[in-house]
Amino acid sequence: MIKQLVERYKSLSADGAVGVWLAVWWVANLLTAGCSELANDEAYYHIFAQDLAWGYYDHPPMTALLVWLGELFFGGELGVRFFFVLLQPLYLYVFWRVIRPKDAKRGDAELYVMICSAMLVLQLYGLIAVPDGPLLFFTAMFLLTFKHFTECRRWAWLTMGLSLGLLALSKYHGALVLLFALAANVGWFVRNPRKIGELMLSGVVALAVIVPHLWWQYQHDWVSFMYHLSGRNGYFEISNITDFLVNMLVVFSPFYLPLWVQAYRKQAATTPVERAVKLYPPAFIIFFTISSFRGYVQPQWAIVAVFGLVWILFMYARQHNRTRRYVMRAGWWTMGLIVITRLVLIFNPVGINFEVFKNKEAYQQMADIAAGRPVIFDSQYAIASKYAFYTGEEAFSQPNVSHRTSQWQYRSDDMGFVGRDVIIDVDPARYSEQEARQRVKRVELANGRYVNYVELSDFHPTRLVEIESDLVLPEEVKRGERLDFELTIKNPYQYDVEVDGEQYLLQMAWGWRKQQYRFYDIGHNVTIPAGGEAKVKCSFIVPEELPSQPYKVGFVLHHRDMYTWFNSESQQTEIK
């Protein structure tokens, strides 16, 4: 039997051998995906899939659609991940067809699959349900259709436009895939001006595909674009740059680093698609290195570079036997480490406390404490998602001005909690020492996470209350300066909101970047009627305690136990 299988394998073409090894890889991914727990972001995307739309706060809709489709067929972790696992062998086979030499042999197929397998970033992002899976799939489809386009095949502009549109619906980084491909081929388009018209037709097709998403963005004040262009900006830290560059060495297999340098120098790109994939590694890495000057950059943002790295090493190694031998040996060593890692993911034999371990036990502990009451988490959008996924109980992620907001702001789960008893995740530092001892309870979960919480009766949210102000802050304010202004507070709820200065607070928030905001009471004894509004005249003395620095300033109205997002537009000013 084994002998027959070996003989059958030896008779395969290069394409057949690639298909066989990718199928083996796919089965291994299925087993791991179905037997390991969700990462934080995966649970968050599961929440997306519960309410299909043409857009989401921080991502286009493709990820939500794939999770939704998987959960039609399977339950649990496999349902969330199934179509992402399926995409990997497909896009690796498509890319093989893009770069496949005309004289490819079975040994070339083995070399190609080994190089791909040794890429740690492909091992991870072939398992989990994140936008990088469809990003890679539709990038591969774009490269294939771009190849056909530059070979002047009929209707290639149409298929290229479709792939570009679907790429845009997968992840916004897809725009760089096109831009860098065009940048690498400016000369080719100059020599072939007629193709510019077809390129524009492709753009029209792509635009038609993404129009529903753009309409969603328009209806939601372009929230995703604002978030990615400015909302996630941090500040300069040298560690952001060094961390990103070190991550680049790790996720793209450090064993191959010297070979990439040599191969990049020696391997010439002779076709438009080869010029595109050769540009991807330096272009993506340089682009996101520059981005790291303004905040932390996640290593997978440069994941498209993997196509260029695979191409240059594959083409170079197949022509140099010594390099090929090293690539295969280093690949087998890497595969050994990967097998061990996968076993740890499934069985966790040493009891590691990390986001993919002990979720079921940990969140069931919290559910037992809640005893059927909803749990409101402090801005922890992924933790709220995990709690809901692993327990099936009600949860909500309350926005917090000190952290980024999320897709939860477009959900109305908290409206189902009105008038009920709830559990609220809190920070004990917000309470006096005596009050914290009396009201705040603390539990250590099975995953090592500590949760501090209070129990609240008769919950009434206020996050949708809108506050308009006639205050226009100057570029600079001084400590001790008096600010006089009027607030118009609009209450969309079907119950009165009474600001009493004890349970419900009307405050002015001052903070900047990662620091905790400081909240100052600006009025009380105000009732905002259900479905109505109230006007409040306020005076505020800029506190002497505020240090000299820039500030983001806004107004909040919230229950004393609740964190809050701005109920007003925020403004920027500076104290010098």
Q: Which two tokens stand for residue 499?
A: 């600001």
How many helices (H) and strands (E) would you count in the chain? 21, 15
Token output for 169: 């619906």
Tokens 């240059």, residue located:
312
Q: If you search the block for the tokens 């070339």, which residue do you land on? A: 108
Q: What is the DSSP string of 486-534?
A: EEEEE--SSS-EEE-SSSEEEEEEEE-TTSPPEEEEEE-SEEE-TT-EE
Burial grade of 74 (CB within 10 A; 0-12, 13-18, 19 or more)? middle
What pLDDT does 232 receive?
62
d(CA 303, CA 119): 10
Contacts of range 174-182, beta carbons closer than 8 Å, 24 or more positions apart: 174/135, 174/138, 174/139, 176/283, 176/284, 176/287, 176/304, 177/139, 177/142, 177/280, 177/304, 178/142, 180/276, 180/279, 180/280, 180/283, 180/284, 181/142, 181/143, 181/146, 181/276, 181/279
Local structure of residue 37 (DSSP, 8 states): P
Residue type, 525: N
**CA angle (43, 44, 49) in 5-degree steps:** 90
Stretch (H or E) spanning 216: helix 194-219
Least Cα distance to 85 among 136, 144, 19, 148 occurs for: 136
Confidence at residue 289, expressed as pLDDT on a 0 to 100 scale: 93
- SS3 letters across 38-107: CCHHHHHHHHHHCCCCCCCCCCCCHHHHHHHHHHHHCCHHHHHHHHHHHHHHHHHHHHHHHHCCCCCCHH
Q: What is the pLDDT of residue 295?
A: 82
Tell me whether residue 116 is exposed, middle or buried, using C-beta atoms within 10 angstroms of its C-beta: 0 to 12, 13 to 18, 19 or more: buried
* Distance, CA of 385 to chain centre: 14
Distance between CA atoms of residues 397 and 220, nearest Å: 19
From first to last of its 576 residues, the chain has per-residue pLDDT tens of 677 777 787 788 999 999 999 999 999 999 999 999 999 999 999 999 999 999 999 999 999 999 999 999 999 999 999 999 999 999 999 999 999 999 999 999 999 999 999 999 999 999 999 999 999 999 999 999 999 999 999 999 999 999 999 999 999 999 999 999 999 999 999 999 999 999 999 999 999 999 999 999 999 989 988 887 766 666 678 888 898 888 888 889 888 988 888 999 999 999 999 999 999 999 999 999 998 888 888 889 999 999 999 999 999 999 999 999 999 999 999 999 999 999 999 999 888 888 999 999 999 999 999 999 999 998 889 999 999 999 999 999 998 888 888 999 999 999 999 999 999 999 898 888 888 888 999 999 999 889 999 999 999 999 999 999 999 999 999 999 999 999 999 999 999 999 999 999 999 999 987 677 899 999 888 999 999 999 999 999 999 999 999 999 999 999 999 888 899 999 999 998
Return d(Cα 178, Cα 194) in angstroms, integer.
19
For residues 125 and 305, what is the distance between their CA atoms, to the nearest angstrom? 14
**Cα 10 to chain centroid, rounded:** 42
Q: What is the pLDDT of residue 478?
A: 93
Burial class of residue 261 (count of CB atoms within 10 Å of its CB; 0-12, 13-18, 19+): exposed
Q: What is the CATH number of domain 466-575?
A: 2.60.40.10
Alpha helices in 392-534 (DSSP H): 433-439
Residue with tokens 């590691």: 352
Coil, strand or helix: which one is 382? Answer: helix
Integer Cα distance of 444 and 362 in angstroms: 9
Q: How long a stretch of residues is the chain? A: 576
Strand, coil or helix: what is 198?
Answer: helix
Gap between the Cα atoms of 252 and 299, Å rounded = 10
Model pTM score: 0.94
Q: Phi then psi for 489, rounded to 5 degrees?
A: -110, 120
Could you give the CA distance from residue 352 to residue 232 in angstroms, rounded to a whole number? 30
pLDDT of 401 reads 87
Tokens for 337? 């480490």
Q: Name the DSSP letter for residue 296.
A: -
For residue 94, the model assigns a pLDDT of 98
Say if CB 429 and CB 378 are below 8 A apart: no
> Would you give the end-to-end CA distance of the chain in angstroms?
81
Neighbours of 239 (CB within 10 A): 10
What CA–CA distances, in Å, run from 251 to 56, 110, 130, 263, 576?
Answer: 28, 21, 16, 18, 44
Strands 549-559 and 518-523: unpaired
* Domain boundaries, given as residue ranges, for the chain: 12-130+342-350, 140-219, 233-319, 359-456, 466-575
Q: How many CA atoms lie within 13 A of 465 on its CB side?
A: 34
Max CA separation in the chain (angstroms): 89
